[in-house]
Structure 1
Amino acid sequence: NGIHWFAPIVADAEAGFGGALNVFELMKAMIEAGAAGVHFEDQLASEKKCGHMGGKVLIPTSQAVRNLVSARLAADVMGVPTVIIARTDADAASLITSDVDPSDHEFLTGERTMEGFYGVNAGIDQAISRGLSYAPYADVVWCETSEPNLEQAQRFAEAIHEKFPGKLLAYNCSPSFNWKKKLSEEEISRFQEEIGAMGYRFQFVTLAGFHALNYSMFDLARNYRERGMDAYSDLQQAEFAAEEHGYTATKHQREVGAGYFDEVAQIVAGGAASTTALTGSTEEAQFDSPESPITGLPGSTQNEQFVK
């Protein structure tokens, strides 16, 4: 409709890469780069792990809160109403840097490690405690879980909403979970709808692109070894078929912006440029056909002049 917009980006700020001042500068940089939302987790930055790995070390609750305050201050200074997401890894983290915060005392085990860290009882109770502490300082609260568990998700949501009604929640539908090992097909089918009803309005599959890219390339390579160009032709036909659903990467030259630079060249040359890239290209000759309904770039010279 003539409206130009950018898809909103939610950026991963990890654990802030330091203290509150590092968080402040990082938040400013991410806003300048165009992030609409930024999430921060409560791990020790120097020992940061994926939420589904072992060895995670928490920072005290009060320190994590200071990081959230610092992020909000950065957004205010920049004058941008950025969405702040507070993530806790307390469900699976069994270590903490310090016993300074009374909020963490009930979870301390009394044990110490060779690195000087304190032991804590990992679990949903610890995650709820931290979620309640973070809720006043964040737009969205995210509990990183160890498995896709509806009962656990409901327990966390109810605890947060009891004190903060309507608080937005985030859920990582992670590829680190073995979904069919943990849930039935019926449970998988209704999983997102059910947690959505609980208040988990921001749901995502971390690394979905990584797995899709690697599997599709592996599948093509395996089939190419056995079937040669038939394998690639099948992939290409699948691309053509997907265009009616909005897929646009069949023509890779156009996808990466060749038409844009053709338009620049035409403007500079007063419409008389003879070196435009898409004119005379194989994409123009072979792909602009009823078989490939997606043609050109809307409003561009490629769309107006080069599509036959």
Structure 2
Amino acid sequence: MNVFLSFKKTFGVTTKYTKTIKANYSKMLIKKRESFIQEEVKKIEQWWNSPRFKETKRIYTPLDVIKHRGSLGISDVKYPSSTQAKKLFELLEENFKNKKPLHTLGVIDPVQMTQLAKCDDIKVAYVSGWACSSTMVGSTNEVSPDFGDYPYDTVPNQVERIFKAQKMHDRKSFLEFLEKKKPMVDYMKPIIADADMGHGGVTTVMKLAKLFAEKGAAGIHLEDQLAGGKRCGHLGGAVLVPTSTHVSRLIATRLQWDIMGVENLIIARTDSCNSKLISSSSDPRDHEFIQGIMNINVQPWSEKLIDLERQNATSTQMSESELEWYNTNKLVTFDEAVQLQVTSIQFQKYIKTKKELKIKEEKNYLSLGEMKNIIKQIAPKINIKFDWDLPRSSEGYYMFQGGMNAAIRRSLVFSPYADMIWLETKTPNLEQARKFSKEIHEQYPNTKLVYNLSPSFDWSKHGFTELQLKNFIWDLAKEGFILQLVSLAGLHVDGVSFYELAKNFQKDGMFSYVNLVQEKEKQIGCDLLTHQRWSGAEYVDSIMKVVQNGSSSKTLSTTGESFTESQF
């Protein structure tokens, strides 16, 4: 029954009096909610003003967060990933200050996570989207190369698997510390995970960010590739999104985490150093890198392709025609088109005027329209021939001149919205890293940088001496590349070690297993030697004793006479 009707029936009050009570009660509720909102806004303002977010830019207000959070306050819901994020942030701050690396290896299962945990100088863990795509794909079990086309909960689910294992082994270690005085192992190393390109629009990015925070990732990285055009950073054919699109992803992620009240970290990754395609010309910050052709009377490639299809051309003929079209029609940026069509003096004046306009406008880019206006003023009698629509791909993608300049330009835009910047490279190059670091830190001196120590590189073919290889990670850290990772280390080690065992086992049987596995486990002190203890059998046994008050300690104990690991 309605509270006001009940009150009226009990005390026999008039309808007019009941309305007065109801109105006063409603005002009280409104006042209470307004007070709640004001308190929550103050909490968020204080939170955002803390050292954790001193470098973070937001385009929305605390009230925007409150409006979308619901009636639960910021202190009502706690996520363990935020605790891990605080740990990660402190590690990054300390290492950045001392110019020391926070380097790690990509893990693919709880086994590798536990072995990583025992290495004191490796303080974080990494979960790769490539590894998940190729080894464990959630609901579909359809393994494939890293095209970002797996269900978007695949990597969060792998994170959850690793994070739950971390917590299990942490509990086991804590019990051993209390009961057996064994040293504690830090199994709770913060997890950094691969969020690819966000797997969709703003709402999908927010759902993905929410999953990662719920499942245990202290930080994620988002790359500026197109959903549907995504490739592994070391494959060709990757398609970039406009700069503004990726900024929206970063903002969406931060908003989602602000709504949840977590401090998880965002890494903005750019693949523009290696990319040759971009999905749209909508953002003027990309215009100087979009390529066109100077033969403006040629048939667009996409139209020619349709004609070839109508003529039932073979795939070989189409490939040959595409190669011929692009060889005949040289791809150039607008600046390169200008240089080829004006005098040297005019071009130098054009470059100087561009620079002056950027300074005047206080920006580091010019739109195509602005560049056209400049050259028209300098060389009014010359009609610069340039068209970036003619060479577009059949999907509508524009040609893009990837490289360090594009990567720097984009990273400078991303930096205020992210906690770290990841430069994806073609080769391991310390000089390239120095140049990138210098440009970023001139404008954002406190930005932490990330480097992929990729297994896609043939490290032995890049001229490194043994000493240079040993020092590479530490030399990078001096340039501000604090977080460094061998993204697929776990996958490669898994393959190498198991192949070596299988190859020998087929002929040498148990000798090969004892020699390659058990003896090595004993030699290096690997706790997998006693895999029952490693899995937590004794921990569960201890819980059972508590529940049963010790009554079945002899009959149900996992460490009784049948416990074979007592042999070790």
Kindly indicate whether residue 419 of structure 2 is the aligned counterpart of residue 139 of structure 1. yes
Q: How much is the aligned-residue C-alpha RMSD, in angstroms? A: 1.6
User: Residue 84 of structure 1 corresponds to which residue in structure 2?
Assistant: 266
Q: Give how far 1:148 is off.
A: 0.4
User: Residue 518 of structure 2 corresponds to which residue in structure 1?
Assistant: 236
Kept in 2: contact 1:9–1:37 (CA 8 A)? yes
The residue correspondences of 1:150-189 to structure 2 (distance < 5 A) are: 150-184=430-464, 185-189=466-470
Any gaps of 5 or more consecutive residues in structure 2? 1-176, 179-183, 293-390
Which structure's residues are more often strand, by fraction? Answer: 1
Kept in 1: contact 2:530–2:565 (CA 8 A)? no
Counterpart residue type for residue 540 of structure 2: F
User: Residue 527 of structure 2 corresponds to which residue in structure 1?
Assistant: 248
Normalising by structure 2, we get a TM-score of 0.49
Any gaps of 5 or more consecutive residues in structure 1? 288-308
Q: Distance in 1 between matches of 2:565 and 2:540?
A: 16
Q: Distance in 2 between matches of 1:258 and 1:213?
A: 25
Instruction: List per-residue Cα deviations over 1:225-282 (Å, max 9, x = no partner).
Output: 3422221112211101211xxx321111122222222222222222132123232344
Counterpart residue type for residue 560 of structure 2: T
Instruction: List per-residue Cα deviations over 1:198-241 (Å, max 9, x = no partner).
Output: 00000000110000011000011112234222211122111012
Normalising by structure 1, we get a TM-score of 0.88
Please say which of residues 278-287 and 14-23 is displaced more in the overlay. Answer: 278-287
User: Residue 98 of structure 1 corresponds to which residue in structure 2?
Assistant: 280
The residue correspondences of 1:181-220 to structure 2 (distance < 5 A) are: 181-184=461-464, 185-220=466-501
Which structure's residues are more often helix, by fraction? Answer: 2
Query: SS in structure 1 opposite 2:199?
Result: coil
Kept in 2: contact 1:251–1:283 (CA 8 A)? no
Could you say if the C-alpha distance between residues 281 and 200 of structure 1 is closer, same or farther in structure 2, counting changes exceeding 3 Å?
A: farther
Q: Distance in 2 between matches of 1:205 and 1:187?
A: 17
Give the number of aligned pairs. 284
Query: SS in structure 1 opposite 2:529?
Result: coil
User: Residue 365 of structure 2 corresponds to which residue in structure 1?
Assistant: none
Please say which of residues 19-28 and 93-102 is displaced more in the overlay. Answer: 19-28
Counterpart residue type for residue 114 of structure 1: S
Could you say if the C-alpha distance between residues 178 and 237 of structure 1 is closer, same or farther in structure 2, counting changes exceeding 3 Å?
A: same
Percent identity between the two aligned chains? 44
Counterpart residue type for residue 265 of structure 1: M
Q: Distance in 2 between matches of 1:282 and 1:223?
A: 29
Q: Distance in 2 between matches of 1:265 and 1:49?
A: 49
Please say which of residues 231-240 and 275-284 is displaced more in the overlay. Answer: 275-284
Kept in 1: contact 2:532–2:565 (CA 8 A)? no
Q: Give how far 1:5 is off.
A: 6.9
Counterpart residue type for residue 73 of structure 1: L
Please say which of residues 160-169 and 221-230 is displaced more in the overlay. Answer: 221-230
User: Residue 290 of structure 1 corresponds to which residue in structure 2?
Assistant: none
Instruction: List per-residue Cα deviations over 1:138-171 (Å, max 9, x = no partner).
Output: 0000011111011111111111111111310000
User: Residue 255 of structure 2 corresponds to which residue in structure 1?
Assistant: 73
Counterpart residue type for residue 52 of structure 1: H
Counterpart residue type for residue 527 of structure 2: T
Could you say if the C-alpha distance between residues 135 and 281 of structure 1 is closer, same or farther in structure 2, counting changes exceeding 3 Å?
A: farther
Kindly indicate whether residue 495 of structure 2 is the aligned counterpart of residue 221 of structure 1. no
Q: Distance in 2 between matches of 1:172 and 1:41?
A: 13
Deviating above 4 A after TM superposition, structure 1's stretches of 4 or more consecutive aligned residues are 1-5
- Structure showing greater relative contact order (alpha-carbon pairs closer than 8 Å, 6 or more residues apart): 2
Please say which of residues 208-217 and 187-196 is displaced more in the overlay. Answer: 187-196
